[in-house]
Amino acid sequence: MTQYVNPMSLVAATPMTQNKSSNQGGSAWFEAMAQAWGQALDNQASLIQQKSDALTGGNDTPSAVTELTTESLRMSFLSNSSHTSISTVGQALETMARKQ
């Protein structure tokens, strides 16, 4: 009789291909997903900082304020989405680990 292997447990534990040109070693895809979300949030924060600097530099036109507001709302959306996706995947991995 063959033993059933849950394919999701293999995916959760599968390391990513190691990038030999960087100092970072291989890591699980869950960690890579979290790092990608972090990078997206960092990029958005930088964009908000640029828009904010433009406002404090004297460009306080209604369009500049609207652009800053838009980017801030985008940051909120990204932040909520990252939290939801990381939490959901983490809970799924936890559930899967309990069933092993």
pTM confidence score: 0.69
Does residue 58 lie within any of the structural domains?
yes
Note whether residue 22 is domain-resident.
no
**How many domains, the chain?**
1
Instruction: Tell which wins on pLDDT, 56 or 10.
Output: 56
User: Is residue 42 one of the residues assigned to a domain?
Assistant: yes
Q: Is residue 3 part of a domain?
A: no
Dist. CA 62–CA 52, nearest whole Å: 13
* Helix (H) or strand (E) run with residue 70 in it: helix 62-98
Are 99 and 8 a contacting pair, CB within 8 Å? no
What is the structure's pLDDT at 74? 95
- Is residue 24 included in any domain, yes or no? no
For residues 26 and 17, what is the distance between their CA atoms, to the nearest angstrom?
6
Give domain status of residue 12, yes or no: no
Rounded to whole angstroms, the Cα distance separating 58 from 60 reads 6
User: Among residues 28, 44, 46, which one has the least CA distance to residue 80?
Assistant: 44
Indicate whether 10 belongs to any domain: no
Q: Per residue in 85-94, pLDDT tens? A: 999 998 988 8
User: Rounded to an integer, what distance in angstroms lies between the CA atom of residue 73 and that of residue 79?
Assistant: 10
Q: What is the pLDDT of residue 12?
A: 52
3-state secondary structure of 15: strand
Identify the domain containing residue 84 by its residue range.
Answer: 30-98
pLDDT band at 5 (very low <50, low <70, confident <90, very high): very low
Is 20 domain-assigned?
A: no
pLDDT of 20-76, one tens digit each?
445 454 458 888 999 999 999 999 999 999 999 999 988 889 999 999 999 999 999
Q: Quickly state the pLDDT bin for 1 (edges 50, 70, 90).
A: very low
User: Is 3's pLDDT higher than 60?
Assistant: no
